[in-house]
Structure 1
Amino acid sequence: MAVIWTPGPRPTNGADTGISDATSDNFSGFGGSDTLIGGDGDDTLNGGAGRDWLQGGDGIDLLNGGGGSDTIQGDLGDDTFTGGSGNDRLIWNNGDGSDRISGNAGSDVVEVNGAAGAGDTFLLEQDAEGRAIFDRLNLVPFTLTVDTVESFEVNGGGGNDIFEVNDLTETSVSAVSFTGGAGNDSLDGSGTSTPLTGSGDAGNDTLIGGDGDDTFNGGAGRDWLQGGDGIDLLNGGGGSDTIQGDLGDDTFTGGSGNDRLIWNNGDGSDRISGNAGSDVVEVNGAAGAGDTFLLEQDAEGRAIFDRLNLVPFTLTVDTVESFEVNGGGGNDIFEVNDLEETSVSAVSFTGGAGNDSLDGSGTSTPLTGSGDAGNDTLIGGDGDDTFNGGAGRDWLQGGNSNDILTGGAGSDRFVFSSGASFNADDLGVDQITDFNRNADTIVLDSTTFVGLEDLSDIRIVANDAAASTSFGVITYSRGTGNLFFNPNLSSSGFGTDGLFANIDNDNNPLTAAPVLAATNFEIVG
């Protein structure tokens, strides 16, 4: 016989199984959940009512699911699928032909399964008739011509797969998902507003969204996730990942690994979790106008990063270890307040062009500040801070700990003021790395250095021993570059006060410290 029916001698309204041989057959399942499998001929299979499985075999087949939620697989040959009513699954497997697929009524999905070894290059877009066109551009190329289908599920399989999704607004497609599988896979949905779901699985994957609300999971590997313009959910998974939200109020989760979580000017108000690993939030401000940024903690122990001007936004951040803030162009202002209840252990700021200001006087978190070009102000807090003014006339004030201060090019001012009378534990010992006696100035606050009235109270001596018995309230040791507060004057020692800075530029004991004079100092307060 051309067709074998099991059980029973012919199709019924029950659950039938039909298996075709090499001839061309036409058979229907009628009622029930039927299994109809074609052979090498050009078969016509009609599932009828029920949840049917239709498999075309190797010919050029016509497959109609009929009523019910059916599964249709074309196999080899250029087949025509019609899902019928119900929620149907319409399957293309590697090695199949170029098929024409219609989902008809219901919520239907086209499932595409790529090559197990070599990587596929897939393209999904619309044609002039509003149909979805799915192409493989490499290996053995094929084309699926699809209408009245609501979603695509694309599985890359093995190899390094590439999947590009373009505009689908004239089609019936409302969702696209991609699973990369093994290999370094790429999903580029920047040309579509259709919501995407992407999973990189193993490998170093790139998942880029478009204007829709996308959901991405990088999986294992060093992945790049970029949300696009919608409200996106981005999960890096295992490995050290880079995640960028783009426009929209997105949610980032770094996963395990050391992740970089990026906000760029124009992005939305995002919720960011670093999770395990040493994670960093990177913030890139406006290129032209200056930003006003504020970083502090909330009552739940999360770090809250706000921009207060231009287009305001808020980043709500937990389980992240550091912030890297780049001001960009303009005169930027960045204030850092208390972060003790957060996971943040380091904050860095690069001002860029413009006259920039970093005020960390409200925090004990260590700061790294670089003014770059412009006349910048860098003020530290209770942490051990590292500041570099860059080009311009900069103001560097380390705060109440052991700080490293580099003025850079230009006439810079190194400021020592605790806001109260001197306490060695509060002020710390700062290292000035590049003092230029022909351009730079050491600024001393008389409120902190009680008894310091004018430049005659500053003495330059040969070594530290001479400093302890000097008549100077402020004493500079040429031998070591140490700068002392000496309120007990010629009495031996420094009493409860003493060393508060070192100006040995190269920190090399074989070379001399800079030669200073009282005129290198300025007294304020």
Structure 2
Amino acid sequence: MATIYGTSGNDPYSTMTGGSGTDWIFGLGGDDSIDGSGGNDYLYGDGVHDTSATGDDDLFGGDGNDYLFGGNGDDFLDGWTGNDYLYGGEGNDTLWGYTGNDYLSGESGNDDLWGEAGNDTLIGGDGWDTLNGGGGNDYLNAGSGFNTVTSGSGFDSIVLSASSYNHITDFQDGVDHILLDDIQFNSLGFTFISGTGTFLTYDGHSIALLVDVAESQLTAADFTTI
């Protein structure tokens, strides 16, 4: 097991790389590049308790089941193989799960989350987020804001709430499922516009657009209140 600390500056030409075991790597301040390599690793773009540390960091989990924490700044997190946990933190972050059953949380900022292969959980958080589940049976919750959700292939679950608007690009009736966060199905309104899709409304405002889906395709079986 190794513990590696960066410096408070930018290191654009070098990468902090772990070994084959379980590594703890801390980028601290500045713009850092961190590669966990093999093993089950914990990668921090900034510090753990020092919230003043900042930087736009690149974190690569490599093999194993890894934990990646972007911290402050606009970060790029790549879990690679294994069942990984990626947390964007502050800033506008890009998170890639790749293979395995991954957990991706954008947290604050306008984030891009890509689950890719596996049964993934994607949580947008605050901001205007883009979620793409990829393959597998995924759970997608974009959180608050104006969001774009592409569930991908598989039997996917998409969360809708009254505090957000979701542009859902590829909902498949009878395959995907919509989870209503504290909303009853019979309180929803449906408005179909030819060439666009069906808008879902609640309490007088739109909460989602199901692109290229006709109102006649939707039934109560497509929805569950949570």
For residues 325 and 394 of structure 1, the distance between their equivalents in structure 2, rounded to whole angstroms, comes to: 19
Larger Rg: 1
Distance change (3 Å), C-alpha of 1:437 and 1:282:
farther
TM norm structure 1: 0.35
For residues 322 and 248 of structure 1, the distance between their equivalents in structure 2, rounded to whole angstroms, comes to: 22
For residues 16 and 33 of structure 2, the distance between their equivalents in structure 1, rounded to whole angstroms, comes to: 6
For residues 383 and 346 of structure 1, the distance between their equivalents in structure 2, rounded to whole angstroms, comes to: 9
TM norm structure 2: 0.74
- Contact 1:442–1:520, Cα closer than 8 Å, also in 2: no
Q: After the TM superposition, which residues 16-27 of structure 1 pair with which residues of structure 2 at under 5 Å, given as runs?
A: none
Runs of 4+ in 1 over 3 A off after TM superposition: 247-255, 259-272, 281-289, 291-300, 303-307, 310-318
For residues 39 and 201 of structure 2, the distance between their equivalents in structure 1, rounded to whole angstroms, comes to: 43
Determine the structure 2 residue equivalent to 1:14.
none
1:502 aligns with 2:209: yes
1:405 aligns with 2:149: yes
Determine the structure 2 residue equivalent to 1:353.
99
Of residues 308, 332, 335, the one that matches 2:84 is 332
Q: After the TM superposition, which residues 72-111 of structure 1 pair with which residues of structure 2 at under 5 Å, given as runs?
A: none
Distance change (3 Å), C-alpha of 1:411 and 1:317:
closer
For residues 169 and 15 of structure 2, the distance between their equivalents in structure 1, rounded to whole angstroms, comes to: 32
> How big is each residue's C-alpha offset from its partner over 1:280-334, in whole Å with a ceiling of 9 and x where there is no partner?
x454445565x56677875552149999xx899999987xx42111112111112
Determine the structure 2 residue equivalent to 1:76.
none
* Structure number with higher relative contact order (C-alpha < 8 Å, ≥ 6 residues apart): 2
- Contact 2:43–2:69, Cα closer than 8 Å, also in 1: no
SS in 2 for 1:414: strand
For residues 145 and 80 of structure 2, the distance between their equivalents in structure 1, rounded to whole angstroms, comes to: 28
Q: CA deviation at 1:385?
A: 0.8
- C-alpha root-mean-square deviation of aligned residues, in Å? 3.7
Q: After the TM superposition, which residues 446-465 of structure 1 pair with which residues of structure 2 at under 5 Å, given as runs?
A: 446=182, 449=183, 452=184, 455=185, 457=186
Q: Percent identity?
A: 26
For residues 392 and 314 of structure 1, the distance between their equivalents in structure 2, rounded to whole angstroms, comes to: 22
> How big is each residue's C-alpha offset from its partner over 1:95-146, in whole Å with a ceiling of 9 and x where there is no partner?
xxxxxxxxxxxxxxxxxxxxxxxxxxxxxxxxxxxxxxxxxxxxxxxxxxxx
Determine the structure 1 residue equivalent to 2:7.
251
Of residues 388, 406, 410, the one that matches 2:132 is 388
1:522 aligns with 2:226: no
Of residues 475, 478, 482, the one that matches 2:192 is 478
For residues 254 and 514 of structure 1, the distance between their equivalents in structure 2, rounded to whole angstroms, comes to: 48
For residues 192 and 81 of structure 2, the distance between their equivalents in structure 1, rounded to whole angstroms, comes to: 41
SS in 2 for 1:402: strand
Determine the structure 1 residue equivalent to 2:74.
322
> How big is each residue's C-alpha offset from its partner over 1:33-60, in whole Å with a ceiling of 9 and x where there is no partner?
xxxxxxxxxxxxxxxxxxxxxxxxxxxx
How many residue pairs get aligned? The number is 209
- Give unmatched runs, 5+ long, in structure 2: none
SS in 2 for 1:251: coil
